[in-house]
Each structure stands twice: as C-alpha cells, then as structure tokens.
Amino acid sequence: MRFKQSNWFLVLLTVPVLSLVLFTASGCNSGTDTATSPDSHAGENDETVASTDHDHSGWWCNEHGVPEDECALCKTSLIAEFKEKGDWCEEHNRPDSQCFECHPENFEKFAARYEAKYGEQPPKPTE
C-alpha cells in the first residue's frame, strides 16, 4: 500500500510541475525584436490583421507611423477602400497618403495627431 501512495504523490507533483515548465518555455517571445522587410506585407489580403510580428493593441502603429486603425499595411481589409479612393502608391504598395517615401510631408500630418494625443513626437516608422 505504501508503494501505491508514493506513486500517486509523484504523479500529482510531476504533472503540475511539467505543465508549468512547458507553459513557461513556450512563451510568446515578446522581448525579441523582429524586423520585417518593407515588402513583407505585399500581396497579403487577410481581412483582419496581416502583420503578426508587432503589437496591434495600441492606438499607434510604430512600424508604419500611422494610427493602427488606419494602417493598411497591418489591416489589409482597408486596402480596397484606399484603392477605390485612388489613394494608392503602386511603387511602395501602400496608401499614397501613408507613403512617406514619396511624400515625407505626410508623416508630419500623422505626427501632429500623435503629438496632440500624447504630447510628444511619435517614434519614427521602421518600415
């Protein structure tokens, strides 16, 4: 009888410990910096969020320098709407109004909105 009790104790102790180890080891790597190329969003037509390599929960898209809800590079369901309005840069595969390579002055418009909300300059877009 003593042998069976110690086996159950071992099982009851091992299962939660292994579960905790696996849970911890399979973390989301939120501390790593994952860079993407400017073409990483090209051709993606997902109706939700195309880019999974950065956080979409905030108001501002740090990678693209626009409010997250307006970022067609992250929220590809917006692409058709921008193209319908004729607001599309074919060369850089993004809305023309959000193409800071062709129109660097457009970033200042978005930056002013960020500054009005947070009282400081926005981070420079990385893509």
Question: How large a percentage of the chain has pLDDT more than 70?
Answer: 64
* pTM of the complete model: 0.55
Minimal CA–CA distance to 51: which of 60, 64, 66, 65?
Answer: 64
Token code pair at residue 84 = 């319908």
Tell me the three state secondary structure of residue 10. helix
For the segment 53-73, the average pLDDT, to the nearest whole number, is 88
R_g of the chain computed on alpha carbons: 23
**Does 9 score more than 60 pLDDT?**
yes
Range in 42-46, 76-80, 85-89 with the lowest mean pLDDT: 42-46
Reported as a single tens digit per residue, the pLDDT across 82-104 is 999 999 999 999 999 999 999 99
**Stronger pLDDT, 80 or 58, i.e. the higher one:** 80
CB neighbourhood size of 92 (10 A): 17
**111 has pLDDT over 80:** yes
